[in-house]
Amino acid sequence: MGKGQRIKAERRSKREAQIRKRATEAAQILMECPVAGKFFPTGIYADPVSFNGGTFNNVNAPCPHCGAKHSGSDAELVLAN
Ligand SMILES: [Zn+2]
């Protein structure tokens, strides 16, 4: 393998490692208040794979915007980045 090819291979494996890290890094789940239309942190952390797997549809969190307790089923959940 020539020098150029080796550098390319190293760059590729670094990039793949970064993607893997991003994919498994836990981030806080944010919930959208259906009343105020604003997102607020739930205090619950998830990694993107579990989050996208739908494991967090039953998250309950008190809302700082309207004071009610929202659940994942009546509010929209997103993963903070
Ligand atoms: Zn609310």
Residue 18 lies in a domain: no
Give me the pLDDT at residue 14, please: 77
Residue 73 lies in a domain: yes
- The more confidently predicted of residues 20 and 75 is 75
Q: What range does the domain containing 73 cover?
A: 24-79
Say how many Å lie between the CA of residue 19 and the centre of ligand 1: 34
Say how many Å lie between the CA of residue 34 and the centre of ligand 1: 6
Residue 56 has pLDDT above 80, yes or no: no
Say how many Å lie between the CA of residue 66 and the centre of ligand 1: 4
Say how many Å lie between the CA of residue 43 and the centre of ligand 1: 15
Give me the pLDDT at residue 1, please: 63
Give me the pLDDT at residue 20, please: 62
The SS3 call for residue 33 is: coil
Q: How far apart are CA 75 and CA 25, in angstroms?
A: 24
- The more confidently predicted of residues 16 and 9 is 9
Q: How far apart are CA 33 and CA 68, in angstroms?
A: 9
The number of domains in the chain is: 1
Give me the pLDDT at residue 73, please: 78
In whole angstroms, what separates CA 66 from the centre of its chain? 24
Residue 11 lies in a domain: no
